[in-house]
Amino acid sequence: MKKSNLFFVLLSVLAMFTFASCSNTVESPVSYLPVVLEGNTDALHILNLKSGEIIATDARNVVDASLFYGEWATIEVIEDGDISYYNFVNTKGKLLNSNHYKYATVMNDDRAWVAMPGGHLVLIDSKGNEVATDKNWLEAYPFYNGKSLVKDAQKGWIIVNKSGKLDEAVPYKECLPIVVDNLVSVMGENREGYEVYGIYLLGKKQQSLLYDDIAFSGSDSYIDYVNGVLNNRIMVEKDNRWGVINKKGQIKINPHFSSLKYDGDYYMCEKDGLWGWCDASGKYVINPQYEAVKPFNGNKLAPAMDGYTYDWGFVNKKGIWEIHPQFDRVNSFKSNGLAMAKLGDDWGLIDKEGKWVVNPQFEEMYEIDGQNNYIVSFGRGAYVLVNSKGETLSQVPFIFDEDVLLDKDYFEDYGLSNFAPIESDFVDFEMMSESLVSMTNEMVKTTSGAIKKKLGGTSAFKSGEVLIQELKNKHYNLKLKAYCSPWEKEYYGWWYYETVFNAKKSVSKYKMILELEGTASDNCEQFINHLSNKFTYDPEEETIVINGKTFELSTDRSQTEITFKLQSKL
C-alpha cells in the first residue's frame, strides 16, 4: 500500500457487490443502508434493504456514513457549520452515546477505534465502553476476525486482540491493513529504496519481500483478498506481471499475466490486452480473446465484451457465446438467476436466456449483496428500492451517496477502504519542548572545527548555513542549523591566493526550526502557550529562554512553522 498520513475515511461499500464463490468463501450481505429523504436532507434515515421500510434516526446534519457492520454504522456530523465529529448509529436509529469523537473507525467484531479531540486512541465495545487505551498507539485499523493492526510508537506495527492486548509485533516497515488466517501482507524497502511487498505468517521468522505489489490493488476488494488467503491463493505482481503464491511463499502461478482477478476456482486473466480464464495452476480454461470480462460468480455464464462490436454478452465455461453480445453494459448473474443489463441509457434485468424480465427503464441501478432487491433511479436525482420484478418497495424517494457504494477515490488508492485507519489526536507538547532543550545542548561546541568533526567533512559549509541535527516524528520535524562561514582567503602575493578552511572560526548564530506536522499543526496556538508556561517568555520582545539561551521567536502559521533564532555569538 502506498501509504500517507491518513485520517479516517468512511467506508467503501464494495461489499455491496457479489463476490467470488471460492470453495472457502466469506461474503458480506448488506441489510441496511444510511439514506436521507428527498426534501429532508437534515435528518438521517435507515433503509431496510429487504423490506423497503425507512426508519428515522436521532442523527442530524450527517455528512457521511458507513455501511452497517453488524448493528452499527459510523457517521460524520457537522456541528456549528464547519466542525465535524463522529459517532455511531444502530439499525434502530439510536446513537451509541453523546460523545463527539474526533475520529472513529467502523464498529466491526463489536469493536471500534475512536479518538476524542486531543486524546489518545481508545478501543471501545459496541456499548460505548472503553476497553483499552495506550499513549503509544499512533494509528489503528478496524478489527477483522478478532484482530487489529496498530502502529505503536515503541514497538512499531503490532497486532492486538479484542481485549486490547498485544498478540504479536510485526517486524516490517508497513502492514497492509487486515489480518486473515494468521497472515499479514507487509511492505518494506529494497536497497534502492523502492517499495517491496510480501507476506508474513504470524509466529514465523521474518520473510523475504520479493514483489512489487500484492493482492488488493486495482479493483480487488477485501472480500476477494480474504477469500484468496483462505484458499491459499495470494496474487502478487513482479515486473508488471501478475502471478499467485501460497501462504508459504511458494509460487503457484509464475507472474506472467498482465492482470489477474479472482473468480471462484478460476482467475480472470489478461494477456496481451485480451481477457480469458485460467485455473488455479495457471492453465487456460478459456483462452484470452475478449476485450473485457466479469466473473462467473459460481454461475454457468459470465459476462464478456466482444472486441469487434464492444458489446457485452455472456459465455459459458467453454468460451462459447450463450447470450450473444448486444448490451452496452452488464453485471454477473446473481443467485436469483437474473443479471443487470444496460441498453442505451437505461438499465433493466435479464434472465439466463437473455430475455428481459424487467425492461430497461432505470437511469441508475445498483445491486445489493445478499439481497434480491435493487436501488434504482429514474433520473430525478432520488432513488427507490425495487424487487426483482421491478416493483417499488420503498414508499418514499431517498438520496444516498453513490461514492459510499463505490468509494471511488480511496478505494482506487488503497483497495481496502473499509479498513481505513485512524490516527491518535494526542500531541505530546512535553516531548516536543524536551526536544528543544536537547537541541540547545548541541550549542556547546561553537568552533567550525567542532562542527566539521560532527559532520565529517567541509562540504556542508559551502552555503554557510549548516544542518547540525534533525529530529523527526509524526508530529514535528525539528532542525538545528548554524551559520558559519569558515572559509578565508590566504594570499600568496598580489596575483595569487587560496580559499582555506579556518577550524577555529566561531559560529555567528544558530537557528532551530520546528515544523508542526499531522494533528500538531492544528494545535500551534496551544503549543505556543505551552512554551510560554514552561520557559521564560517575553511577549513584548518576542524572546524565549531555553536552557539558558535567549532566542528570538517567530511563527509562520501558513507553514505551521516555529523558528527560534539565536543571533549573537555564544
Give the CB-side neighbour count of residue 115, counting CA atoms within 13 A: 25
- Cell numbers at residue 113, please? 477505534
Residues near 297 by Cβ (< 8 Å), separated by ≥ 6?
Answer: 18, 19, 20, 21, 263, 264, 332, 333, 334
Amino acid at 58: D
DSSP 405: H
User: Alpha-carbon distance 43 to 62, whole Å?
Assistant: 7
For 76-221, where are the alpha helices, taking DSSP H only? none
The CA-based diameter of the chain, rounded to the nearest angstrom, is 102
User: Alpha-carbon distance 320 to 306, whole Å?
Assistant: 12
User: Alpha-carbon distance 227 to 7, whole Å?
Assistant: 27
pLDDT tens readout for residues 166-208: 999 999 988 888 899 999 999 988 878 788 999 999 988 877 8
3-state secondary structure 445-499: CCEHHHHHHHHCCCHHHCCCEEEEEEEECCCEEEEEEEECCCEEEEECCCCCEEE
Domain ranges of the chain: 14-423, 429-566
As beta bridge partners, residue 465 has: 483
Rounded to 5 degrees, φ, ψ at 98 are: -100, 10
User: Alpha-carbon distance 262 to 17, whole Å?
Assistant: 14
Instruction: Give one word for 81, left, alpha or beta, with left for phi > 0 and alpha for psi -120 to 50.
Output: left
Residues near 275 by Cβ (< 8 Å), separated by ≥ 6?
Answer: 268, 269, 288, 289, 290, 291, 292, 293, 304
**pTM score:** 0.80
Instruction: Give one word for 415, left, alpha or beta, with left for phi > 0 and alpha for psi -120 to 50.
Output: left
With H, G, I as helix, E, B as strand and everything else as coil, classify residue 531. helix
Angle subtended by helix axes 524-534 and 429-440, to nearest 10: 60
pLDDT tens series, the chain, 570 aa: 222 222 222 223 323 323 223 345 666 678 899 999 988 888 999 999 999 999 999 999 888 888 888 899 999 898 877 778 999 999 999 999 999 999 999 898 999 999 998 899 999 999 999 999 998 999 999 998 899 999 998 899 999 999 999 999 999 988 888 899 999 999 988 878 788 999 999 988 877 899 998 876 444 567 778 888 899 999 999 999 999 999 999 999 999 999 999 898 999 999 999 999 999 999 999 999 999 999 998 999 999 999 999 999 999 999 999 999 999 999 999 999 999 999 999 999 999 999 999 999 999 999 987 889 999 998 777 999 999 999 999 989 998 866 544 433 333 333 344 567 888 888 889 988 999 998 888 887 778 888 888 888 888 888 788 888 899 887 889 999 888 888 888 887 777 788 888 888 888 888 888 988 877 888 888 888 899 899 998 888 888 899 888 888 888 877 788 888 876 555
